[in-house]
Structures are given as structure tokens and as C-alpha cells.
Amino acid sequence: MADDKTLKTDTVLAHAGSDPRAFDGFVNVPVYHGSTVTFPDVDTMLSGRQTYTYGRRGSPTTTALKTVLQDIEGADDVVLCPSGLSACTVAILAAAGAGDHVLVTDSVYGPTRHFLDTMGRRFGIETTYYVPGLGDGVAALMRPNTRAVYVESPGSHTFEIQDLPAIARAAHAGGALVIVDNTWATPVFHKPLALGADISLMAATKYVVGHSDAMLGTVASRGEAARLVKDAWDQLGLSVGPDDVYLGTRGIRTMGVRLRQHEANALAVARWLKARPEVSRVLHPALPDHPGHALFTRDFTGSSGLFGFVTREAPVAAAKALLDTLKLFGLGYSWGGYESLAVLSQIGKARTATPWSEPGHLIRLHVGLEDPADLIADLEAGLAAFRAAE
Ligand SMILES: *Cc1c(COP(=O)(O)O)cnc(C)c1O
């Protein structure tokens, strides 16, 4: 089943890694709690032939999730990490070390940037942040010691779309690996490894788990990068508790249908916001006037539930009143669950290559699986509070 390359993504999500006959007919792979795995004799122990050897290195529970991911990513290997951030850091540590240079999008997820600016720098990795729209212009930033180009498309909080195939050509010409943080689209809507990336990672905490109840990261890779990632993951001793791996597998079975509903709901909310006088700009790559829309339609097959909008210029009290009035949108970090969320983005401090200079306030919404009419009514009340506080 999992080897059938003609199956469509939704079918792979439902069936890959599943083997009821191996588990007395039960549809789902059980949760194996375990550290020690025993061997029948010394020869087997020394031979390396036994599939499972130690809890940290994997179990049937981790194999189930890895198999689904390997199939939908088109990867040679997948490792599971205890958070999305640890997936980002293990990918960087796999590609670069002391004396190496990495090129990273200026729109990168904030904690990944913090890792590069602190521990990355302390361990001798030098980072240059590039303008997200640069495309093959990254060739001019490549140095002889550039080991990786790190892409996140669309960008965290600002939703720029990048020309991944052009970036991959420039990176590979200079001998660098391409790492993509694909948390936003997931491989359901965007397949980085097929577009030239070597490493495709996700905060599986978001859409894979899908219910805001576990932390999980995944790193899919191909070719030489697969060996480097596996080694780094093993050397760092990363391991995920089996219950959280199970929640990842349970989530990924319904990821396609959930994402399509997030997409429809988010587009309904985004189009409504776009027509509002309190809103100066909507940052959603599936809207035709988004600057990255042509690249988006070329390289993505859909959009997810996360986008931003900028209010018209107003005192910060008005933006706070808007958010504090919302009842269905919770105020909280993370996203990708069934429920709607909102945050006031503090993007001004985070950029170095592309300073953020919009006069309005940037608000990021995660549109969940509620009825969009109710979400729009909630936002309408929020915008009334915004006007009252202007
Ligand atoms: C949330 C997020 C992460 C980190 O994931 P955690 O599971 O919270 O550690 C990494 N990249 C992106 C784009 C994210 O949105």
C-alpha cells in the first residue's frame, strides 16, 4: 500500500503506515511505551539485524507516523523531534558547524532566528538574513563556506512567498543544502522536496497534531541530507514520547480534510476583512493581489488557515480593544488546531534585512473549523471596538 506511488495524498494519509494484520486486526498501531528492547541471543544483538533495538531509536508507534510522512513528503528518511523548534535546530545542526555560513530568510520563525543568533553564533555558525523575495538573488550572497539556505514560505507573520526552485538552483550551485520550514502549507499543499529542497521540516504541533494537544516536530530529507539529519538527530538524543507520536499519527489521518476546511474558512474571513475600511491590507498569498500570488499558484495547491491583516493607522489601544473583544478567537501562540486564534504581531523588532514600516497594526489570525459566519460576526464586534477606541 505505502509503496504504491500512484495513490493520491488523501489516500496515503488514510492508509500509509497502517498494518492491522500485524496488530490482531486493530486499525491503529498501538502505543509502545518502552526504553529497553531485548534480543533473543548475543549474535542477534551484535548483528544489527533486529528492527527495533532501543526505545530512543524507534518503535512500531514511531514507524507508523514516519511512514506516512515519508510517503507524502517523497522523502528518503524522516526523524521525529520533541517540538517544531527542535526540528528546525536539528536541521541546521545537520547542515552546518563551526566556521560555516548559512543564509536564512528574514521572515523566519522568531525562535529559529533566536537559536541562530545565540547558540548558533556561539558554536561558530555565521548567519546572513536575506530579503524573502530575493529568489535567485541569493546566489550573490553565497560564500565558499555557505552550507545551507533556510527557507520559510510563506514567512512567519508577514506571508511572503519565495521562489523555492530558483533558490534551490542557486544553493546547489554553491554546494549548499536547502532547508524548508513547511509548517504553514504542510506536504498536502506544498512539497518542498519535489521542488528542489533537501530537507522539509514541520512544526507538527500545528496541523499534523491538529488539536492543540501535543508538541511534535518532523524532519523529512532526501539524498546526502538524510544521512546528515539522521546522524545529528541520533547524536543529540532526540526522542518523542509515544503518546505524542500517537497523537501525531491520529491527527495526520484527517489532515487533508481539515486543511481544506481551514482553507475555505480562512478565505471567507480574509475576503470579508479585505472589504472593511478599518483594514488597510490583508496578507494572504491565495488572494490575487498578494505580491507572491503568481509563485503561490505555481508551487502550492492550496492555502491553510493562517494569515495576517494590517489595520488602518490607529492608537495601539484600538488594536488591543479589537483583540480583547473577540470571543471565538482565543489569544494564544501556536496554531493549526481546530480552534481560531489571534495575536498582535510584534514584527517591528524581528527584522534586520527588511524593516517593517507599515503604520497600522499587524494582526495574525488562525482561522479554525468553526462556521465562518460566526467568526465574521466576532470580528465585526472586534472592529466596532476598534473604531470606538480610535
Ligand atoms: C510554531 C512554529 C515552529 C515551532 O514549533 P513548536 O512546536 O512550537 O516548537 C516552527 N516553525 C514555524 C513556522 C512555526 O509556526
DSSP-assigned letters across all residues of 49-61 = -SS--BGGG--HH
Q: How far apart are CA 341 and CA 350, in angstroms?
A: 21
Q: Which of 19, 52, 56, 320 is catalytic?
A: 56
Q: Is 321 touching ligand 1 by the criterion CB < 6 Å?
A: no
Query: From ligand 1's centre to the CA of 273, what distance in Å?
Result: 26
Q: What share of the chain is helix, strand, coil (3-state, %, to 5)?
A: 45, 15, 40
Query: From ligand 1's centre to the CA of 380, what distance in Å?
Result: 29
The pTM score is 0.97
Q: Where do the DSSP E strands lie in the chain?
A: 77-81, 101-105, 126-130, 146-152, 177-181, 199-203, 217-221, 279-283, 306-311, 330-331, 341-344, 362-366
N- to C-terminal Cα separation, the chain: 59
Per-residue pLDDT of the chain (390 residues; tens, 9 = 90+): 445 678 999 999 999 999 999 999 999 999 999 999 999 999 999 999 999 999 999 999 999 999 999 999 999 999 999 999 999 999 999 999 999 999 999 999 999 999 999 999 999 999 999 999 999 999 999 999 999 999 999 998 999 999 999 999 999 999 999 999 999 999 999 999 999 999 999 999 999 999 999 999 999 999 999 999 999 999 999 999 999 999 999 999 999 999 999 999 999 999 999 999 999 999 999 999 999 999 999 999 999 999 999 999 999 999 999 999 999 999 999 999 999 999 999 887 788 898 888 899 999 999 999 999 999 999 999 999 999 999
Q: Is 18 touching ligand 1 by the criterion CB < 6 Å?
A: no
Q: Is 83 touching ligand 1 by the criterion CB < 6 Å?
A: yes
Q: Is 89 touching ligand 1 by the criterion CB < 6 Å?
A: no
> Is 129 annotated as catalytic?
no
Q: How far apart are CA 324 and CA 345, in angstroms?
A: 14
